[in-house]
Chains A and B, each alone.
Chain A
Amino acid sequence: LAKTTQPISMDSYEGQEVNITCSHNNIATNDYITWYQQFPSQGPRFIIQGYKTKVTNEVASLFIPADRKSSTLSLPRVSLSDTAVYYCLVGRDSGGYQKVTFGIGTKLQVIP
């Protein structure tokens, strides 16, 4: 499995754009990049997924360079409710089982 590296914590003021970068140098050809969000005492929630280039949904954008060795989750205009832990995952389906690893994640603190 490709190992991912992301900052342990980040602070941001409300209304700012937040970019969290994840490094995954050993990503395999069939791997997808997925980000999850987790609030305290809750299960993680899927945010966004991509394979290459840029993906955008109603919550976030995901930027993936051509070499796919890193990815950046972009949260536009964060609010206090975006305070959470964000996990970057690299993985794929393997015979019906999703081979992924949840690391420590990035703890985002949004400040008023």
Chain B
Amino acid sequence: DGGITQSPKYLFRKEGQNVTLSCEQNLNHDAMYWYRQDPGQGLRLIYYSQIVNDFQKGDIAEGYSVSREKKESFPLTVTSAQKNPTAFYLCASSDSAGKSSYNEQFFGPGTRLTVL
């Protein structure tokens, strides 16, 4: 089955600790994204990556870092610099290489991070 996996589903961390959220896709998509969603809110873009070894900041990148060493993997690290990290984190990918039209984004199941 092709798709996106995120792990873990629930994550708890103590204040001041860094934590890494996993995102893996086997759809052979070039582009990958990380979003944050707070209760009752829409999705806000944290980082995105168009190709391996390249990524760009989204609208709320402060306190987060990413890497894209492999096409299928795009881990997100929530650092201690992120002031309010408790949220629902969603990873997505899209097949947009060489395409001119908009292509749908495929989302993972999400990771709910709670800072204690």
Contacts and interface: CB of A to CB of B under 8 A. Distances in A.
A34 B107 contact: no
Main secondary structure on B side of the interface with A: strand
- Bin the interface of chain B by size: 20 to 34
B59 to A, nearest CB: 8
A95 interface: yes
A49 B104 contact: yes
Interface stretch (B14-22, B67-75, B78-86, B92-100): B92-100
Contacts of B96: 93, 96-98
A33 to B, nearest CB: 9
A-side binding surface: helix, strand, loop or mixed?
loop
A103 B42 contact: yes
A43 B108 contact: yes
Nearest to B43: A102
Interface of B: 4, 30-31, 33, 35, 40-45, 48, 50-51, 56, 88, 90, 92, 94, 96-97, 99-110, 112
